[in-house]
Amino acid sequence: MVSHHGLQFCLDHEQHRHAPLAESGLTHSSSGSRRSTYCFRHTYATFRLTEGVDVYFLAKQMGTSVKMIEDHYGHITPVKNADRILQGLPGWEPMAPPQPESR
């Protein structure tokens, strides 16, 4: 049973939680489905892994298992971002892209 004050808190929380979606025009998907803030969990995980965040850290932060992270996001590999991950380590210098031959 929820008291009047508890119910008001829930309503206020819901309004504030959805305000950023409404302000950015993201309350509905392109198919017309109503979005929730939970929809952005995948985006967050993808961005963090792309940045090279450790899967163990991310799993703990997101309250899930490493297996779930690996199963759903295994296609996002840190190898794609080796330059960013290794930047600043002694002896690491990124390879310069090949230059076109000048004639």
The label of the residue with tokens 């002694």 reads 90
Residue 4 has pLDDT above 80, yes or no: no
Nearest Cα to 54, choosing from 70, 71, 40?
70
- Give the pLDDT band (50/70/90) at residue 92: low
CA dihedral (46, 64, 32, 28) positive or negative: negative
Separation between Cα atoms, residue 72 and residue 67, nearest integer Å:
8
Separation between Cα atoms, residue 30 and residue 35, nearest integer Å:
10
Query: In this predicted model, what pLDDT tens digit does every residue of 14-69 receive, in sequence order?
Result: 666 677 778 888 788 888 888 877 778 888 898 888 888 888 999 999 999 999 99
pTM of structure = 0.52
- Give the pLDDT band (50/70/90) at residue 1: very low
